[in-house]
Amino acid sequence: MVLLNKINLFLEMNGYGFFIWSSYIVWFILLLLLTVKVILRKKSIEKKVKYINAKQR
């Protein structure tokens, strides 16, 4: 019971927990979106390079 109370106090962060944890969630979502965008962009560039190389041969 004491452990759950300590965890709850940590998550609440003196009443600012909602703002802190929601900002972490937004940051994590944006990081995931950026990672997906980079991967998709890399695949697109690789496809264009392959097309250009095939066209030159």
Query: Which string of DSSP letters, residue by residue, matches 15-48?
Result: TTHHHHHHHHHHHHHHHHHHHHHHHHHHHHHHHH
Residues 27, 35: Cα–Cα separation, whole Å = 12
pTM to 2 decimal places: 0.72
pLDDT of the residue at 1:
87
To the nearest whole number, what is the mean pLDDT of the chain?
95
Check pLDDT > 90 for residue 57: no
Mean pLDDT in residue range 5-21: 93
Residue 2 confidence (pLDDT): 93
* pLDDT (average), residues 4-28: 94
